[in-house]
């Protein structure tokens, strides 16, 4: 098992920021997004090129969202103010208000792996015992929530388009910023309609829908894998939760490019000051040096993880839903 202190110490040499590289990373991503989205809106539904352009725009949108996440950690540019200004600007195109995203994501880092603070995670997880003791209506609601079609497709779209207009902890994060963000988003949508007509809105909606599916799948995989880490607050090790409760997603170089290397999530959680453009290189170096244990998750295990729904506190692993007969027997035993 990796020593979190040694991993953090060894990763420190990758925390230096390069403004030229940062500007290129952000600029190229934004240019690809604008050109692909604008061209798709211009061509409309009748062109064979529209769908491939929407796919490209969705990939760029995912990458912009990850870069905004870096801005929230102040880990992208050397200047904290540059990170914050970039975060506010990019948020118009990612649909996620910057200050609220930053506030809630910091809570997520602080509460990762804590069974007593599961509300800070992006994906809520019940324990096996909670499931066995839950009434039928609560089980049905949780089954629907964890259904991949609802969680990755419909749920992600509704969250980004509607829920983020007034996100969680909006008052604490700053109401004025969220109102201004929503106004800027409205202006962006109006600009698309003015330039390309009303058909531009369905192009934007399709881009958001596709980006939401891939993005929410990525967010799910970051902490939902079989041997992840959960403990009650009194016995939780923050360092172990950060390192062992976050995944190493080896899904290919192109997927790393689209997601700005956030796939190497264990290293990000143990040292969030590593810029995204150094994260992959740092992860490879620390594994090569034997400092960081390799726990790679490929595509097969990534898809299989969608079956994992509940945290088994005794087995210390995520498990699928039990069969209804087994679950009913366990509930009857508990109430006997």
Instruction: Classify 171 as helix, strand or coil.
Output: helix
Q: Averaged over 174-191, what is the pLDDT? A: 96
pLDDT tens-digit series, residues 291-334: 999 999 999 999 999 999 999 999 999 999 998 655 455 555 55
Q: What is the DSSP string of 29-53?
A: HHHHHHHHHHHHHHH-TT-TTHHHH
Distance set, CA 50 to CA 47, 55, 108, 202, 265 (Å): 6, 9, 37, 11, 33
Instruction: Please tell me the distance from the alpha carbon of residue 1 to that of residue 297, in angstroms, as a whole number.
Output: 16
More confidently predicted of 46 and 56: 56
Q: Residues 18, 70: contact at Cβ < 8 Å?
A: no
More confidently predicted of 42 and 335: 42
Q: Residues 120, 108: contact at Cβ < 8 Å?
A: yes
Burial state string for 239-261 with b = 16 or more CB within 10 A and e = fewer than 16: bbbbbbbbbbbbbeeebbebbbb
Instruction: Please tell me the distance from the alpha carbon of residue 43 to that of residue 39, in angstroms, as a whole number.
Output: 6
More confidently predicted of 142 and 333: 142
Beta bridge partners of 264: 248
Q: Averaged over 121-128, what is the pLDDT? A: 93
Q: Residues 156, 212: contact at Cβ < 8 Å?
A: yes
Name the residue ranges covered by the structural domains of the chain.
4-335
Q: Residues 163, 156: contact at Cβ < 8 Å?
A: no
Q: Averaged over 58-76, what is the pLDDT? A: 98
Residue 204 has which token pair?
């934007």
Q: Averaged over 198-208, what is the pLDDT? A: 96
What confidence tier does 33 reach under pLDDT thresholds 50, 70, 90? very high
Q: Residues 326, 124: contact at Cβ < 8 Å?
A: no
Instruction: Please tell me the distance from the alpha carbon of residue 181 to that of residue 78, in angstroms, as a whole number.
Output: 25
Is the pLDDT assigned to residue 230 strictly greater than 90? Answer: yes
pLDDT value of position 168: 94
Q: How many residues does the chain have?
A: 336
pLDDT tens-digit series, residues 268-280: 999 999 999 999 9
């Amino acid at each position: 098992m990796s020593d979190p202190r040694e991993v953090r110490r060894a990763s420190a040499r990758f925390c230096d920021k390069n403004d030229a590289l940062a500007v290129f990373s952000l600029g190229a991503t934004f240019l690809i997004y604008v050109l692909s989205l604008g061209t798709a809106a211009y061509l409309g539904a009748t062109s064979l090129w529209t769908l491939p352009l929407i796919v490209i725009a969705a990939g760029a949108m995912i990458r912009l969202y990850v870069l905004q996440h870096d801005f929230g950690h102040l880990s992208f540019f050397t200047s904290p103010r540059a990170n914050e200004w970039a975060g506010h600007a990019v948020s118009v195109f990612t649909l996620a208000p910057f200050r609220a995203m930053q506030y809630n994501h910091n809570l997520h880092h602080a509460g990762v792996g804590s069974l007593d603070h599961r509300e800070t995670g992006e994906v809520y997880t019940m324990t096996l015992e909670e499931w066995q003791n839950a009434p039928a209506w609560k089980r049905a609601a949780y089954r629907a929530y964890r259904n991949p079609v609802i969680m990755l497709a419909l749920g992600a779209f509704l969250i980004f388009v509607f829920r983020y207009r007034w996100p969680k902890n909006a008052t604490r994060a700053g109401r004025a910023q969220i109102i201004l963000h929503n106004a800027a988003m409205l202006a962006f949508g109006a600009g698309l309609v003015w330039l390309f007509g009303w058909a531009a809105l369905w192009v934007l909606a399709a881009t958001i829908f596709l980006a939401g599916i891939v993005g929410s799948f990525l967010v799910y995989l970051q902490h939902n894998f079989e041997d992840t880490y959960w403990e009650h607050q009194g016995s939780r090790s923050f360092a172990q939760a950060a390192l062992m409760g976050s995944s190493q997603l080896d899904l290919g170089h192109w997927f790393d490019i689209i997601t700005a290397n956030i796939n190497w999530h264990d290293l990000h959680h143990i040292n969030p000051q590593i810029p995204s453009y150094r994260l992959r290189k740092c992860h490879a170096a620390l594994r090569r040096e034997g400092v960081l244990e390799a726990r790679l998750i490929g595509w097969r295990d990534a898809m299989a993880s969608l079956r994992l729904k509940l945290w088994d506190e005794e087995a210390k692993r995520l498990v699928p839903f039990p069969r209804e007969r087994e679950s009913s027997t366990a509930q009857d035993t508990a109430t006997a």
